[in-house]
């Protein structure tokens, strides 16, 4: 009944070409010998070599990594708590406001988040720099982590927590020894999501950064405005490559675990 028709195949082929061709072209042209982006001058890695000489880009990359690491880690903790709150704590005063504040940053235009945080930092006379960018990133990342954790929690029923409580486990211990291990994969993927969101962000970082705290996207943006350069292609290729490797590795581990689990279950079923 469920036939995979020619129409299905064509729409998938066209759709995925649309999604991937631009990135593939960009990657190919990062190995272009020629300075001109539309003229192919033969294979070369010279733009990567040049990249290593570029102190500005290296500094920006370092800032970006620091911000991404710290903000992802804090967001993972706060977001996990928020996700728990949303899915397990039922009704409490201010729940509507809370869930509103969780969902809103995900759809709020970056310019508004960036502007509002900047204005607050100015109003409180806080000097802008890496720390302010980090706070801004934690704020929107924690919402994503919360949603990921919440959906994981809603996929298994709360009777295992009730069982733990019933057997005399305190709520705090129940969280640490029962809930957390179960949602840990979600926390990890939440962390990864927060990390890449932070790596990606241009607009909010532009608002909340101060002198000397230029992130990589800001650096790329300022150069992109001047036109396409092979050097930016090279940076982009490295970034895309890193993320792709990370995602593929994560999904490989995931799939292997799922397979192992399936095999275990089959073995167990045969033991009956």
CB atoms within 10 A of CB 218: 20
Chain residues 162-201 in contact with another protein, contact rule CB under 8 A? 171-172, 193, 196, 199-200
Query: What are the phi and psi torsion angles at 31 (to 5°)?
Result: -100, 15
**Measured between alpha carbons, how far is 106 from 260 in angstroms, rounded to an integer?**
35
Q: Which stretch binds another protein (CB under 8 A): 46-54, 79-87, 158-166, 176-184?
A: 79-87
Q: From the CB of 93, what's the least distance to another protein, in Å?
A: 10
**Measured between alpha carbons, how far is 205 from 210 in angstroms, rounded to an integer?**
9
Chain residues 116-155 in contact with another protein, contact rule CB under 8 A? 116-117, 119-120, 122-124, 126-127, 129-131, 134-136, 138-139, 142-143, 146, 154
CB 72 within 8 A of CB 195: yes
Which residues does residue 43 pair with via DSSP β-bridges, in sequence order? 32
Chain residues 41-60 in contact with another protein, contact rule CB under 8 A? none
Q: Which stretch binds another protein (CB under 8 A): 45-53, 69-77, 177-185, 259-267?
A: 69-77
Q: Using CB under 8 A as the criterion, what x/- string covers residues 197-226 for binding another protein?
A: --xx-xx--xx--x-xx---x--xx--xx-
**Measured between alpha carbons, how far is 19 from 15 in angstroms, rounded to an integer?**
6
Size of the site for another protein (CB under 8 A): 104
């Amino acid at each position: 009944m469920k036939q995979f028709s020619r129409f299905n195949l064509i729409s998938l082929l066209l759709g995925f070409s649309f999604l991937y061709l631009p990135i593939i072209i960009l990657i190919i042209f990062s190995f272009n010998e020629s300075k001109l982006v539309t003229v192919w001058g033969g294979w070369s890695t010279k733009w990567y070599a040049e990249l290593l000489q570029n102190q500005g880009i290296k500094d920006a990359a370092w800032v970006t990594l620091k911000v991404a690491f710290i903000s992802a880690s804090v967001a993972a903790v706060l977001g996990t708590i928020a996700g728990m709150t949303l899915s397990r704590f039922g009704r409490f005063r201010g729940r509507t406001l809370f869930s509103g504040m969780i969902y809103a940053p995900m759809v709020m235009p970056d310019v508004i988040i960036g502007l509002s945080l900047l204005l607050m930092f100015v109003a409180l006379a806080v000097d802008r720099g890496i720390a302010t960018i980090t706070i801004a990133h934690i704020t929107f990342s924690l919402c994503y982590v919360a949603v990921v954790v919440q959906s994981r929690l809603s996929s298994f029923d709360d009777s295992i927590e009730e069982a733990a409580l019933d057997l005399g486990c305190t709520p705090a211990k129940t969280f640490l020894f029962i809930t957390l291990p179960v949602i840990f994969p979600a926390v990890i993927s939440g962390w990864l999501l927060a990390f890449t969101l932070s790596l990606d962000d241009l607009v909010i970082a532009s608002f909340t950064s101060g002198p000397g705290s230029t992130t990589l996207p800001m650096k790329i943006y300022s150069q992109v405005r001047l036109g396409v350069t092979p050097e930016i292609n090279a940076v982009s290729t490295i970034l895309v490559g890193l993320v792709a490797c990370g995602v593929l590795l994560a999904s490989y581990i995931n799939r292997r675990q799922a397979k192992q689990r399936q095999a275990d279950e089959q073995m167990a079923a045969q033991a009956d």
